[in-house]
Amino acid sequence: MKGRYLLGLLAAFALSFASYNTATDKMGVFDPSVLQIDQEMYLGKKLGNYTVLTERGWKDIKTIIGNKPTILQLAYYTCDASCPILTQNLLRAVKDIDPKDFNVLILSFDRKDTIDTLKAFKKKLGNVPPNWTFGLLQEDDIKKLTKEIGFKFFYSEKDRTFVHPNVLIFLSPEGKVMRYLFGTFPQTKDVKLALLDAQKENPSVTNLLDLSLLVCYRYDPTRSRYVFDPFVIFPLAGIALFTGVLALSFFYKKPKEV
């Protein structure tokens, strides 16, 4: 058990900034780059129509998304390392975000998973908000979906564990892939901005002000983080400074009343 846990943690750390389904080279050395997702190739692609088996029966994935930005995590429910770590950290990252504004969908890519393993995985997480859905896919749909979003994985017979990317995929209300966040420790700021990114094509009246935040940030794919955009911040600071100088100049030049 310890060996599986350590292997999972090593995979998680190796995939913090790069995507972690192939095996080793001729020398038996694993090359994590083979699991890397070419984001530009998949951004903007719309998911197909899949039927998901949940605790409450079969549901259409469009119904689960429900015209809201949605965070998708692909995991396997018997994992005792990086999958539950990422899910737990996502729970923490979104605790202060209104659950009415988005959905979370956790789907298993392991054809051997069942409703029982799903429930056991969910139970370990503790209290899960109502906007979270855990589901299973048919084997053919697992292949189609993972190919559709560039998610590669393979099963290590020796270690009895899956090697796969640790990634959150942000979907638009229409089901388009809008952003990838890699690593097992998502930050609240990045999750909030990625959710805004996921909805920018079809903004609601209530989040127009929030969307203005995206003007000040840009997504850095090398770090899988949102960072301040200096090409926006510095000009805005210059305009604010110029406006302040003009205001002070006007104030001091204003003739005094006799």
Q: Where are the domains of the chain?
A: 2-200
Find, among 4, 20, 59, 3, the residue nearest to 182 by Cα.
20
Say if residues 82 and 184 touch (Cβ distance below 8 Å): yes
**For residue 156, what pLDDT is reported?**
85
**For residue 252, what pLDDT is reported?**
55
Residue 250, pLDDT above cutoff 60: no
**For residue 221, what pLDDT is reported?**
83
**For residue 213, what pLDDT is reported?**
62
**For residue 158, what pLDDT is reported?**
84
Higher pLDDT, 26 or 175: 175
Residue 69, pLDDT above cutoff 90: yes
User: Which of these ranges, 2-16, 62-76, 200-214, has the smallest mean pLDDT?
Assistant: 2-16
**Any binding-site annotation on 216?**
no
The CATH code of the domain at 2-200 is: 3.40.30.10
Residues above pLDDT 90, as percent of the chain: 59
**Any binding-site annotation on 198?**
no
Q: Sorting pLDDT into bands at 50, 70 and 90, what band is 242?
A: very low
pLDDT, average across residues 167-189: 96
Q: Rg of the chain over CA atoms, in angstroms? A: 22
**For residue 160, what pLDDT is reported?**
86
State which amino acid sits at residue 207.
N
**Any binding-site annotation on 83?**
yes
d(CA 141, CA 220): 31
